[in-house]
Chains A and B, each alone.
Chain A
Amino acid sequence: MVLTTLLPAGLGAETLGVDYPLVLLGLFLSLLPLVASPLARQGVPALALAPPDRLSRLVAGSIRLAGMLAIAALVLALAGLHRRAQLVEREGQGAHVVLLLDRSSSMDNTFADRAPSGDVESKSLAAKRLLSEFVTRRPNDRIGVVAFSTSPMPVLPLTDHHGAVLAAIAAIDRPGLSFTDVGRGLALALASFGSDSDEASRAVVLVSDGAALIDRKVQEALRDEVARNPVHLYWLFLRSRGARGIFEAPPPGENTPQANPERHLHLFLQSLGVPYRAFEAGSPEAVGQAIAEIDRQETRPLRYIERVPRRDYAPALLGVAAMALALLLAAKAAERPLARRPQPLDSNEEPMRPRRLAA
């Protein structure tokens, strides 16, 4: 009966699991103590010699119970009873972040716009190192990754499995493609929040070393999307030597989107009407500072999912089995024959309905 209440939905069938369900058939063995006993059966000539008393019944019952418990516990341990890994919702600090990463081939050059050599790292390598640190520092965030170059590519949906996120960030210093289509990349980044209706702070971190014209249709689509699902925007502009800055207005006559796409992307993002910050980083150190600033900004209360790992019940079950066995063994050791007679009694021979006596 212990078994029947313990196994099915009583404890929540979805939280308990077994590794080898077929072994559970062995639970039928736990009915064995109801019909057999390791104790010697002793016959008494007359039932009246051993009148039923409550103590004996109690003791006999508990011995039976101990036997059933020991068998059931061993079977459950062998079947690998465990509590499944669970997801528990907790409150913490963090955000839902989509990393929008530039995979154009110019990212493979250094900040001085040369091929990387010696101890000078490329922009993509610096971004990779610093973004990995960023992700590691923020264990509660849900992070998604979108790559863009000639076309936008969803790399990872919003996830709290940071191993996959780190693997996606590790891929950004592999050779990239030719163009920088920021507009469609942004659209995909916004779309990857999808139906995420959480109250958590949502942020898009754009990491790129350049920009391109955004098609008018795409601009309108972006405005629509941002108005519907407001996000925080961060642009980490990896400025190569010689590239125009995004903050200073260029001399009149050169102030066209064609001549100065970065500056105009900055103006466009400012005009979206959502919290937006741009960081211009001309060196790996500046990138580090900018990422630290984003890290500081994006700490709002967040409900996040924590994984509670699987817990094996085998040790506990074996402990229970050991205690029940110890009880049985004690009962067995305390067993005495009823009659003290010179003739050897055969303890196994038992003819009439016996009353088993313990101790």
Chain B
Amino acid sequence: MSRRLSRRIGLDRRFGLLLAALAATCAALLAPRIERPRSARDLLLVVDITGSMNVRDYTVDGRPTSRLEVAKRALRDLLAALPCSSRVGLAVFTERRSFLLFEPAEVCGNFAPLDAELAALDWRMAWEGDSYIARGAQSGWELAQAVRADLVFLTDGHEAPPAPAAGLPPFERSGPPVHGLLVGVGGPEPAPIPKFDEDGRETGFYAEADVPQENRSGPPPADAESRPGYNPRNAPWGAEAASGTEHLSALREEHLRALAAQLGLGYARLESPDNLAGAVLAATEPRPVRALVETYPLPAALALLALVLAHLMPLGRRAARRSHPSSPPVTSQGNARP
């Protein structure tokens, strides 16, 4: 009897499916947003804007491109790749200091100005020609610690004047640790450094005599005694003018690796503008943030499934019966035809 009644008022499986679809849709309407952890990053980007960064030893889109230009592109890609709630601050390095332009700011809400500022980085912002990279990276480390962010320091490792023979200046890491990445920008082949006049016009390249070729402060190197004209008091570095290739610039990877080890940072070479984001995300510490996630898709998808099934059911059952003639008999007379 119940079967007949149920059939009479249409309480079949399809009714059940429609009811389920409605219930699931109502559940989707009431579904709460739940908090899910997401890993944002807090980064302080420090960009070397000294003269050697103007060396054009990258090729982008078939055109020679300067290291600074490639670094800027890579940073803009990185900015776009960071998850929302990440914060990014920017500093520039010349001389021996990392100079903070702005403190870390949230990337999604402030994307346009941050991106515009990265695009506006220019070697003309440099306040001095020297390039004590080790000291600059050390001050960048301290700065990153002060703004509670991880450090991403982009440089070609070309110290000017040349680093003293004694090696890296001492540095003691204290306080909360700073993670991050020292990024080597530039090619392995020594390339000429463009030279600019007072008004910022390019006038050629640096020649050997234009730049100091050896750092003659501090104790002389171990091989000094074998140099021609060596005299411990009058000519501790030998009697001849230093010669060398300091007027050319190549990426100094050993120097940067040593510096990265001193600062407890990772090291990566910037091969092309688009391989920075992955390396940075891997080398920096994720900061869990709570992101609100919608939960309605699950019940809504169930509702859709039930609704589609409710439509397909008749076809499905007919097809099933056709393939299994012996399956439960639905005796039909009168209005049924083969």
A336 to B307 alpha-carbon distance, docked (Å)? 21
| A336–B101 CB distance below 8 A | no
Chain B residues bordering chain A, tally (CB within 8 A): 72
B324 at the interface (CB under 8 A from A): no
* Residues of chain B with a CB closer than 8 A to A161's CB: 109-113
| A37–B314 CB distance below 8 A | yes
A351 to B146 alpha-carbon distance, docked (Å)? 81
Residue of B nearest to A175 (CB): B97
A272 at the interface (CB under 8 A from B): no
* Residues of chain A with a CB closer than 8 A to B307's CB: 67, 70-71, 74, 325
A164 at the interface (CB under 8 A from B): yes
B21 at the interface (CB under 8 A from A): yes
Contact with B along A318-347 (1 / 0, CB 8 A): 110110011011001111110101011111
A249 at the interface (CB under 8 A from B): no
* Residues of chain A with a CB closer than 8 A to B26's CB: 322
B2 at the interface (CB under 8 A from A): no
On chain A, which size bracket covers the interface?
Answer: 35 or more
Residue of B nearest to A144 (CB): B113
| B314–A164 CB distance below 8 A | no
A29 to B307 alpha-carbon distance, docked (Å)? 10
A159 to B111 alpha-carbon distance, docked (Å)? 11
A115 to chain B minimum Cβ distance, whole angstroms, is 17
B4 partner, pick from A70, A175, A344, beta carbons under 8 A: A344
Once A75-B304, A351-B336 are accepted as A-B contacts, the answer to whether A150 and B310 lie under 8 Å apart by CB is no
| A151–B126 CB distance below 8 A | yes
A186 to B284 alpha-carbon distance, docked (Å)? 38
Contact with B along A263-293 (1 / 0, CB 8 A): 0000000000000000000000000000000
* Residues of chain B with a CB closer than 8 A to A332's CB: 10, 14-15, 18
| B311–A33 CB distance below 8 A | yes
B289 at the interface (CB under 8 A from A): no
Q: In chain B, residues 1-47, which have Cβ atoms closer than 8 Å to a Cβ of chain A?
A: 3-4, 7-12, 14-15, 17-19, 21-22, 25-26, 28-29
A339 to B125 alpha-carbon distance, docked (Å)? 90
Q: A-side interface residues toward B, CB under 8 Å?
A: 26, 29, 32-33, 36-45, 67, 70-71, 74-75, 77-78, 103, 145, 147, 149-157, 159, 161, 163-168, 170-171, 174-175, 177, 312, 314-315, 318-319, 321-322, 325-326, 328-329, 332-337, 339, 341, 343-352
15 more A-B residue pairs beyond the given contacts A37-B314, A163-B110, with a C-beta to C-beta distance below 8 A: A26-B304, A36-B314, A39-B14, A40-B314, A45-B334, A150-B127, A150-B128, A151-B125, A152-B125, A322-B29, A333-B9, A345-B332, A348-B330, A350-B336, A352-B337
Q: B-side interface residues toward A, CB under 8 Å?
A: 3-4, 7-12, 14-15, 17-19, 21-22, 25-26, 28-29, 89, 92, 97, 99-106, 109-114, 116-117, 120, 124-128, 143, 146, 294, 296-297, 300-301, 303-304, 307-308, 310-315, 317-318, 330-338
26 contacts between A and B (CB under 8 A): A32-B311, A32-B312, A38-B14, A38-B15, A38-B310, A71-B304, A156-B116, A156-B117, A157-B113, A159-B113, A161-B112, A163-B110, A164-B110, A167-B110, A171-B100, A171-B102, A314-B296, A314-B300, A318-B300, A319-B29, A322-B22, A328-B18, A335-B9, A346-B331, A349-B336, A351-B336
